[in-house]
Structure 1
């Protein structure tokens, strides 16, 4: 029990702060999407001059909003779930079932990580037709396994920043999904540790997860 709680405490501390930032950035992305759509509607239907960049910019922020909010929703029980069997089982059996399902989810998420990495790297081959950046960024931060933070760079450490307008690589859009996947894995590990602590009789020593005013699945 002390080992589980010792691992859980710093993970919960980090996730609480990181996901709070993710939620703020996701709300900002949603606000920008709304502004772009409200701008593009009259331009399209009243002036017959729809901006070519509006759709791609909206898609960019929608994907980032998804990647940032998915781990937040997962941590707070916001995903749709069929939990009739879980509720019907007695306490320990219910916890064992949820633990098994959480471990299965962890396996699936871990298996998806290399595919997410490959998808991000494929985005380096193509650039947006309408979105531009005022800089060129080269980034490579090697991490264990498939979690390396690499964006259109080779192996090893690399960081480069050069001013000048250039078309945005599609990898900047796709990397939002990889970030969301990594955060989902961390939240999943947190859930596993919490379920293990509950099975070992330490439920009363678990701190309640922070909640927001976001709706959750019933």
Structure 2
């Protein structure tokens, strides 16, 4: 039993930290989206001279905002869900059902991570039409104990290079929001699985309480 709680603790720490980061990025991204869209409205309808970059910039901000806030919402029960069956079942049966559903969602998310990685790497071949970056970089970090490497726009096993100079942004920077978001969703899913297993084993009183966004129906 202590082993299960010990396994759960790192996921709680990481997911809590990433949730706070996601909240902060979402607030900033939302504010920037509003500013960018207002700029485009003024130039399009007041000055009759639409700018080329605001639409793509708003899309970039929206994708990263979604990728970082979705795991936070998932952890707090903020996703839309139909839980009438679960609520009607005895507590232990409902816990088993929740574990089954979380296991299925974990399989889907793992497949999604693989697809997200392939999609992100394909974005290295194409550049943004309007967005520029003040530098270009390549990144690769081998994963200990695995014949894999976390990479972005390079096939090297281990690399980190940063070159200053304006260049069009690779679309991989936009697509990476999907990849990162799915990885964070996997981490949250594993935490919820471990919490569900602990609940099933009668360790619910030893679990830290998670904030919950769902409003109970009266």
Is TM > 0.5 for Structure 1 vs Structure 2?
Answer: yes
How far did residue 28 of structure 1 move?
0.7
Q: How many residues align?
A: 215
How far did residue 75 of structure 1 move?
0.3
What whole-Å deviation, never above 9, does each CA across 1:88-145 have from its counterpart, x for those lacking one?
Answer: 0011001110111001100110111111110001100100011011101111112366
- In 2, the alpha carbon distance for the partners of 1:19 and 1:46 equals 39
Q: Is the 8 A contact 2:96 2:200 kept in 1?
A: yes
Name the structure 2 match of 1:151.
152
How far did residue 25 of structure 1 move?
0.8
Name the structure 1 match of 2:131.
131
How far did residue 155 of structure 1 move?
3.1
How far did residue 10 of structure 1 move?
2.0
- In 1, the alpha carbon distance for the partners of 2:215 and 2:141 equals 37
Name the structure 2 match of 1:186.
187
How far did residue 148 of structure 1 move?
4.0
Q: Is the 8 A contact 1:142 1:148 kept in 2?
A: yes
> For structure 2, which runs of at least 5 residues remain unmatched after alignment?
none
Alpha-carbon RMSD:
1.6
Q: Is the 8 A contact 1:79 1:217 kept in 2?
A: no
Name the structure 2 match of 1:195.
196
What whole-Å deviation, never above 9, does each CA across 1:29-75 have from its counterpart, x for those lacking one?
Answer: 11100100111101100111111000000000000001001100000
Name the structure 2 match of 1:167.
168
- In 2, the alpha carbon distance for the partners of 1:216 and 1:61 equals 26
3-state DSSP class of the match of 1:138? Answer: strand
Change beyond 3 A, Cα 1:217–1:179? farther
Name the structure 2 match of 1:11.
11
Name the structure 2 match of 1:74.
74
Name the structure 2 match of 1:31.
31
How far did residue 216 of structure 1 move?
3.7
